[in-house]
Amino acid sequence: MIEQINSLKNFGIFKHYQANSEIYPFSKFNIFYGWNGSGKSTISRLFASFSKRCLPVGHSNCQFDVSVTGNRRITENNISDCSEKIAVFNQDFIDENINWNDCVNSILLVSEEKIDDRKQLNEYTIEHKKLIEEIGQVEENSKKLKEDIDKFLSGTAKAIKEKFQILDTTDSFYLNYNKTKLQSRITQDIHTIESGCANLSEEETINLTTAIKPDVKPVLEFRKNILDYSKILLAVANVKELLARSLVTKTIDRLKENEDIGKWVEEGLVLHQKHGSETCEFCGQVLPTARIEDLQAHFSNAFTKLKEELGQKESELKAFYIVNQLPDSANLYTELVANFTEKQNQLITITKSINDSCQELVSCIKSKTDNPFTTICNTDSIAQELIQEYNQLQDDIATIIEKHNVKTNDFENVVKKNKEKLELHYASEACNDFTYFEKCKTYEGLLSKKIELEKKSKELGEKVIELETSLANETLGAVDFNGKLHRFLGHKDISLQFDKDAHGYRIIRHNVDVAKNLSEGEKTAIAFLYFITKLKEKDSKIEDTIVVIDDPISSFDSNHVFNAYSFLKNYCKEALQLFVFTHNYGFYVLLRDWLYKKNKPRENKILTRIYTVEVTQSEDRQSTVKNANKTLTDYNSEYHYVFKQIHSFISKPSLTLDEAFLIGNLSRKLLEGFMSFKYPKSRNNREMTELISDKIKGERIYKFINQYSHHDRIGFGEPMTDNLLSESYNVVTDLMDTIEEMDKTHYDEMMAVING
């Protein structure tokens, strides 16, 4: 139900309407009384826009706020979501449905004979409604989920953009990073992200963050020193064999047992032989031949050869000594330094172990050389694991240097790839935290469900239309309408006749000719009864409908007041909510007497509210809605209302031009009402004003109400405006004084009424 018009702006004559706290909220039955041009039709047009779920033509800049059941508000922004079922009768409805010179739109009424089909239609309709509601719920859920996903993408893209801006202010791609780019990255690498392969450790993230800085370094030189373990193994084996070899010669025990003496004698023998000395160069004695022969036997060829071989192997082993030449870590890209330093330190340790092993063997060779007669068996080999680890470290360092050089040689591409890895890492982290893929799958599931439901809804809707078509009967609609029309008019001169080709009804007079020159009363009857009949169209239930009726009685057919009232009462009393707008006081009284008595104030049961629609009489004319005062709710005459309106002008210090023109009509109505009651004989305005004892007042009142109430022509060039403004205030005072003078008792009671 519609509960209240809170505000209505830029909507026809309602320019700045704002409901105050005194305005009663709408009830089940609502009557609006107001003169022509006050804004009643404007309100009906507002309600009609709710039914059509769009703003009326010419009101694109309007603003409104209307409360409806369920703590909801209908505004110009959400009017398309309005769910209220509203039927509005006003001039727009007539213009849209009836062409007085051609045809009346078709009415589809459901036949009561097809009971089973009607039951099936009802079941289909209920099911179809549930499907539509379910579709609406799915749409709402999917819309909210889509908003969450979009918000996530926008927020994550902004965060990534800010991180890259700190690192590099020259990359336009990341300076303009947005939701679209992020979504493209996620889509492109969806499997990498879902599998977790895009996630980086904290260390990797730091390295990549460093790696994307736009600083180019020079290419570095590095040659790997790969050791051949098979050669080392062979050389060590040869050394061990020499160290363990025993000399088979005639030896001198003293020299054999004393290495230093043996070495000294060996060198002396070589010197004596070199210089051809026959005497001992040390003691000067003649060298005995036997001693020389013994010494030569001790230092035999085998002895000499062994020493030569030992010397050779010592040189071979020294060749395996490692001297590493590595680039300075300061010349590497920052992200590579930590790994390089680690490998470098490991290499230093391994190198020392290998060199130490070589040095031990060299020491053994020297010992063997000094005393070839000794055997050295317990020597250690160079471990293969050391050689393998050394070679692996050489490969690792070469790889690091290669990464450095690749980055330098293809700097832009490498940095770009590093940025993409970092971007993908950030995206993956955010997706995991947000459960992005799960939400996307849920969203896709909702879309699929919506498509499935819409397919079912379409199929069911087609069944509903098919059943409605089989049940709907235009002829039945004409019969129902004609029965109402004949009762309304009191004769059968005019009827509707269905025209298949026109898909509507022709208005026929005497069942033969197309009706021409319809009277206003006939037009009103046809239009109003057409609306009443359409309330039942397609088996619609009035109990579910808000019915709005704007002036079913025109100024030219007041003789149909009772008929209009009777049809409205009988066909609209069960409406979910009823709004009736009228300018006809007689029609208003009938409505009031029917509906107002439904109120039970003591039981706090208010089913009917009465309002007036009035135009503020100022330079900026605009309409407003007010609670009806008791001159309308408690008395059966428009006279009370007019008396109150006229009297309200007395308290004003000055009158506007609009108020002055209004006073002309109101003064005539009030005078005619008072005089007709006071002097029941039929009199015209001249005769009535002659009954006023003060002839000056009587003449002034007569001239005023005839000049400005129903004068038969517009006097161009006459000083009407000045006279109107100057005389209107005086006439109001004169009229009130006259009534008080002619019937003081009546005047006092009327004052009590309007002030009570």
* 670 and 701 inside one domain: yes
* 570 and 605 inside one domain: yes
**pLDDT at residue number 358:** 81
Out of 174-178, 454-458, 632-636, least confident range: 632-636
Q: How many domains does the chain have?
A: 2
Is residue 44 predicted with pLDDT exceeding 90?
Answer: yes
Is residue 469 predicted with pLDDT exceeding 90?
Answer: no
- Rounded to an integer, the average pLDDT of 449-470 is 86
665 is a domain residue: yes
Do 574 and 542 touch, CB atoms closer than 8 A?
A: yes
Q: Amino acid identity, residue 578? A: L
Predicted structure pTM score: 0.48
Residue whose structure tokens are 């098919």: 466
595 is a domain residue: yes
CATH code of residue 615: 3.40.50.300
Is residue 354 predicted with pLDDT exceeding 60?
Answer: yes
Do 526 and 485 touch, CB atoms closer than 8 A?
A: yes
**pLDDT at residue number 719:** 45
Query: How many secondary structure helices (H) and strands (E) does the chain include?
Result: 27, 16
Count of CB atoms situated within 10 Å of the CB of 535:
16
Confidence of residue 37 (pLDDT cuts 50, 70, 90): confident
Separation between Cα atoms, residue 347 and residue 328, nearest integer Å: 15
* 621 and 546 inside one domain: yes
Confidence of residue 144 (pLDDT cuts 50, 70, 90): very high
**pLDDT at residue number 637:** 66
**pLDDT at residue number 230:** 82
- The tens digit of pLDDT for each residue in 537-567 reads 777 889 999 999 998 876 545 567 888 888 8
Which of 568, 610, 606, 561 is closest to 587 using CA atoms?
561
485 is a domain residue: no
**pLDDT at residue number 714:** 42
End of a domain among 599, 628, 657? 628
End of a domain among 603, 628, 653? 628
* 614 and 647 inside one domain: no
- Rounded to an integer, the average pLDDT of 84-92 is 92
Token readout for 305 is: 């050869």
717 is a domain residue: yes
Is residue 713 predicted with pLDDT exceeding 50?
Answer: no
Residues 6+ apart with CB under 8 A from 560: 488, 521, 524, 525, 553
Do 14 and 39 touch, CB atoms closer than 8 A?
A: yes
* 658 and 727 inside one domain: yes
* 666 and 689 inside one domain: yes
Which of 605, 482, 531 is closest to 95 using CA atoms?
531
Which of 285, 308, 287 is closest to 296 using CA atoms?
287
Cα atoms in the Cβ-side hemisphere of radius 13 Å centred on 742: 21
**pLDDT at residue number 66:** 95
Can you give the length of the chain in residues?
756
Q: Amino acid identity, residue 432? A: N
Is residue 115 predicted with pLDDT exceeding 80?
Answer: no
Confidence of residue 373 (pLDDT cuts 50, 70, 90): low
Is residue 718 predicted with pLDDT exceeding 50?
Answer: no
> Alpha helix (H) ranges present in 574-684?
585-595, 630-633, 638-648, 657-678
**pLDDT at residue number 366:** 77
Mean pLDDT (the chain, rounded): 80
Q: Over the range 495-525, which residues count as b (16 or more CB within 10 Å of their CB) and which as e?
A: bbebeeeeebbbbbeeeeeebeebeebbbbb
**pLDDT at residue number 708:** 59
Domain assignment of residue 25, given as a range: 2-100+541-628
* 549 and 656 inside one domain: no
* 620 and 684 inside one domain: no
Out of 290-294, 545-549, 614-618, least confident range: 290-294
**pLDDT at residue number 226:** 87
End of a domain among 628, 663, 678? 628
- Rounded to an integer, the average pLDDT of 421-447 is 92
Instruction: Give bridge partners of residue 582 from the DSSP assignment.
Output: 33
- The percentage of residues in the chain with a pLDDT greater than 70, rounded to a whole number, is 81
**pLDDT at residue number 250:** 47
Instruction: Give bridge partners of residue 506 from the DSSP assignment.
Output: 497
Which of 613, 630, 559, 623 is closest to 31 using CA atoms?
613
Separation between Cα atoms, residue 99 and residue 438, nearest integer Å: 58
602 is a domain residue: yes
Separation between Cα atoms, residue 676 and residue 688, nearest integer Å: 9
In eight-state DSSP terms, residue 286 is B
- Rounded to an integer, the average pLDDT of 571-593 is 88
* 667 and 613 inside one domain: no
Separation between Cα atoms, residue 150 and residue 144, nearest integer Å: 10
- The percentage of residues in the chain with a pLDDT greater than 90, rounded to a whole number, is 25
490 is a domain residue: no
* 610 and 650 inside one domain: no
Is residue 599 predicted with pLDDT exceeding 50?
Answer: yes
577 is a domain residue: yes
Residues 6+ apart with CB under 8 A from 105: 97, 98, 504, 505
- The tens digit of pLDDT for each residue in 485-538 reads 888 877 888 888 877 777 677 888 887 777 778 888 788 888 888 888 888 877
Q: Over the range 30-69, which residues count as b (16 or more CB within 10 Å of their CB) and which as e?
A: bbbbbbeebbbbbbbbbbbbbbeeebbeebeebebbbbbe
- Rounded to an integer, the average pLDDT of 344-348 is 91
* 648 and 750 inside one domain: yes
* 588 and 550 inside one domain: yes
Question: Is residue 531 helix, strand or coil?
Answer: helix
Out of 119-123, 292-296, 371-375, 678-682, least confident range: 292-296
666 is a domain residue: yes
Mean pLDDT comparison of 195-204, 265-274, 438-447, 471-480, highest-scoring range: 438-447
